[in-house]
Amino acid sequence: MKAYLFPGQGAQFEGMGKDLYDEHAIARELFEQANEILGFDLAKVMFEGSAEDLRQTKITQPAIFLHSAITARVKMDENDKPDAVAGHSLGEFSALVACGALDFKDALQLVYQRALAMQAACEATEGTMVAVLARDMEIVEQTCAAITDAVVVPANYNTPTQLVISGSEDGIAKASEALEGKVLKLVPLSVGGAFHSPLMQSAQEKLKAAIEQTNFKTPFCPIYQNVDAQATTDVATIKQNLINQLTGAVRWSQSVQNMVGDGFEHFVEVGGKGKVLLGMVKKIHRKAAMEML
């Protein structure tokens, strides 16, 4: 069975989507539709903007969504649809469009509202993230739990040996100091805030209102969602999981492990700069068949 995977923030690159625009009429139509929905020329930023331009959360999120959603629309064979989908953080929105649960227009509007809400949360409270490479994830989890005078939590379970932690500047500093010498490596990430942590609570509240007003449909295949790593086609569950995702951990490693356990052996990454997620899959299941769409 085949699963389609959709990347999140960090998969942006300069010139993204220009080839799609030049080669496919439907891509041009969707880019122009996106510019109308957003009220500014996102396509121009994607095609001509600098790496710094693309790093702004309010640009990054709709750009990555648009690139993945259009790639899926242009390249996904009608006779070879996925048996399941999954998206890493922001990528869940692209995944939901690909499996028919969300309309393109509705999803883009949600993504932009999510981006603006997260940008505002980042500006209200400074935070950051650190990738921790460790053989024992429990050490990282226990270290975070032991820090009670600052915010720091496990945020992204990317592979069996990589866990990203997220929190306030003080919380991350304390956790990093406590983990020094106990883990393989600590890598500070260049991000705008403490994503997937309690510091995103204000953004979650704004997104919740938007999600509750948006029409979702039953997808034609299951989606494995970040917060619980489980497959579902239930609309109410999908909506609640999307809401919980902003302050909850991305359980990517567990999602891939569950997909493998359910019989998935073929993984296809859709959009972004390429092989971000497939690199993680390889570390989770070495025998997986992989391709880029």
Q: Which residues form the catalytic set?
A: 89, 196
Cα separation, 129 vs 272, whole angstroms: 21
C-alpha closest to that of 249 among 223, 277, 227, 281: 227
Cα separation, 72 vs 74, whole angstroms: 6
CA–chain centroid gap for 214, Å, is 20
| H-assigned helices in the chain | 18-23, 25-38, 42-48, 51-54, 57-75, 91-98, 104-124, 137-146, 169-179, 201-212, 235-245, 252-261, 276-284
For 282, the token pair is 């390889």
C-alpha closest to that of 194 among 168, 156, 163: 168
